[in-house]
Amino acid sequence: MTTTSPVAPDSDSRATAPADSDADSEPSSTAWTRKHLLGLEELSRDEIIAILDTAESFAEVSDRSRKKVPALQGRIVFNLFFENSTRTRTSFSLAAKRLSADTQDFTASVSSLSKGETFIDTAKNIEAMGADVMVVRHPTPGAPHLLAQHVSSSIINAGDGAHEHPTQGLLDLMTIRQAKGRIEGLTVGLVGDIAHSRVARSNIQGLLKLGAKVVVCGPPTLVPRGMERLGCEVAYRLEDVLPRCDVVNVLRIHFERQQGGLFPSVGEYSQFYMMTQDRVRMAKPDLLLLAPGPINRGVELTPEVADGVNSAILQQVKNGLAVRMAVLYLLSGKMDARP
């Protein structure tokens, strides 16, 4: 898949503009065919690479003194978050602003949902206000997919229960590709609460499509059955996996999605699965350490590891902005398409 570079150089950054950018061209996303981004499961390898390449172009915009491009001028992007968020919500909002869109946050806790209005009626009212895009986070798996069937706006899944978090998966891929120069042939360990992690599912889809080997590792109660059928290797002892890993993505324990009793105590979990300096030393010297955040220091990883030389946690956050700009930009070519 080919997409024209979206980033026209501005007057103060021509020297650093991507090699294929064209100052005189209108932004074009004509090769992109999708109106929605619901998950990495539905994307092809080429579509994932197109998003990553577009995100690299947008990463350059963040380094300019003037950080705006006009690609989404006149468009309205609504953030509909039915779960809390720091990174995803704010970076979607900032990404939309950098593309010159108008943005509006919808906060479920102070909305008319409390008066009995349904999820779909709420979205239809927001559609009536002219929303071109709805960025949706919801605790129920499939909620964004349901909206895509009922409204004409483009829908972006910003995390649906334990199902998928596609832009997190994409920013993880971007961070790995930047650090390692490739994804194909790498061994990536996903460590911790695999069962309740939407990040794990989006990582698995993206990494396998781009040719990485994926090893999931956690307590047996937090690793669902059937992961091998997806194409993953399953391990229960972190020490067995670490020496082979090029990348480790440390997943949070999702207490909010657990019924409890899945491991004896946080202390025992940390004893066996927390990334410590000693465990980092078991891995390759150039191990890339990721964590989607929020991180729980002293539970899934120690502060020294979180802030250490192998950690790319804040680079992931920076890349999240570029990935979300890329997704909004690519979908913008199809926003007016019929559902």
Per CB under 6 A, the segment of 47-55, 85-93, 104-112, 277-285 that binds ligand CP is 85-93
Per CB under 6 A, the segment of 2-10, 70-78, 84-92, 267-275 that binds ligand CP is 84-92
Edge to edge, what strands does the sheet with 247-250 contain? 233-235, 213-217, 187-191, 247-250, 288-290
Phi, psi of 189 (to 5 degrees): -95, 130
Coil vs helix vs strand at 89: helix
Binding mask 254-293 for ligand CP (x = CB under 6 A): --------------------------------------xx
Edge to edge, what strands does the sheet with 76-81 contain? 102-107, 76-81, 133-138, 154-160
Euclidean distance between CA atoms 277 and 242, whole angstroms: 12
Q: Where do we find the tokens 């309740």?
A: 196
Name the residue nearer to ligand CP (CB basis): 97 or 150: 97
Close Cβ partners of 271 (under 8 Å, ≥ 6 residues apart):
none
Tell me 65's DSSP state. Answer: S
Among 5, 57, 88, 197, binds ligand CP (CB under 6 A): 88
- Cα 224 off chain centre by: 21
Strands (E), 30-147: 76-81, 102-107, 133-138
As beta bridge partners, residue 248 has 189, 289
* 302 torsion bin: left (phi>0), alpha (psi -120 to 50), beta (else): beta
Among 36, 75, 87, 163, binds ligand CP (CB under 6 A): 87
CB of 79 to ligand CP, least distance (A): 11
Among 21, 85, 100, 152, binds ligand CP (CB under 6 A): 85
Among 29, 103, 168, 203, binds ligand CP (CB under 6 A): 168
Total binding residues toward ligand CP, as defined by CB under 6 A: 11
Considering only residues 140 to 159 of the shown chain, the ones binding ligand CP according to CB under 6 A are 159
As beta bridge partners, residue 142 has none
Q: Does 93 bind ligand CP (CB under 6 A)?
A: no
CB of 183 to ligand CP, least distance (A): 20
CB of 89 to ligand CP, least distance (A): 6
Name the residue nearer to ligand CP (CB basis): 159 or 206: 159
Name the residue nearer to ligand CP (CB basis): 8 or 164: 164
Among 86, 107, 112, 140, binds ligand CP (CB under 6 A): 86
CB of 85 to ligand CP, least distance (A): 3
Q: What single letter denotes the amino acid at residue 277?
A: Q
Euclidean distance between CA atoms 78 and 108, whole angstroms: 12
Dig out the tokens for 185 from the structure.
């042939």
Q: Does 161 bind ligand CP (CB under 6 A)?
A: no
Residues in contact with ligand CP by the rule CB under 6 A: 85-89, 159, 165, 168, 292-294
